[in-house]
Amino acid sequence: MTKDERAALLEQSVLPILLGNGFAAHLLAVKIYLRYGITSFVCGSRKKPLDRLNPACGFYRLFRQTEDRLAAEQLLALADGYGDVLFVLVPTAEEDRRFMEAYASELESRFIFSDPRTIFAKLPFASASRA
């Protein structure tokens, strides 16, 4: 993702952050993009071929291999840099759900937690579909 593409992505008012860099995350990014025209960030430890081919998402590298605390700090730093953006954190695997639960007290200050099974029924996405 180029610097200009990243800047355009962060100009959105709602930005889904999809934890996990597997097929489920990319599929969810495509569904969000097709339904609302919103581009998502897929977060993982390393870039995969899907990250280069999927125009519905950008890639954000998280260092989850060694220390989850560092990943939580990275997410907070990303969110703190863009005060006007509403960040929605979505786990796409069970380990991501556990990560969110472990750091909920810190992350909930800047992120709306969502579930991939109900993401389209709850705000802010439900209101985006009516607009």
pLDDT tens digits in sequence order for the chain, 131 residues long:
565 655 555 556 888 999 988 888 888 988 988 888 888 888 887 777 766 777 788 888 887 656 788 889 999 998 988 778 889 999 999 999 999 999 999 999 999 999 888 887 765 555 554 44
Q: Is residue 131 part of a domain?
A: no
Query: Is 90 among the domain residues?
Result: yes
Count of residues in the chain: 131
Which domain CATH number covers 93? 3.40.50.720
Q: Which pTM does this prediction carry? A: 0.80
The beta strands (E) that lie in 23-130 are given as: 40-44, 57-61, 86-91, 111-113
- Which strand (E) or helix (H) includes residue 36? helix 23-36
Host domain of residue 107: 3-125
| Number of structural domains found in the chain | 1
Residue 131, pLDDT score: 45
Determine the pLDDT at residue 3.
58
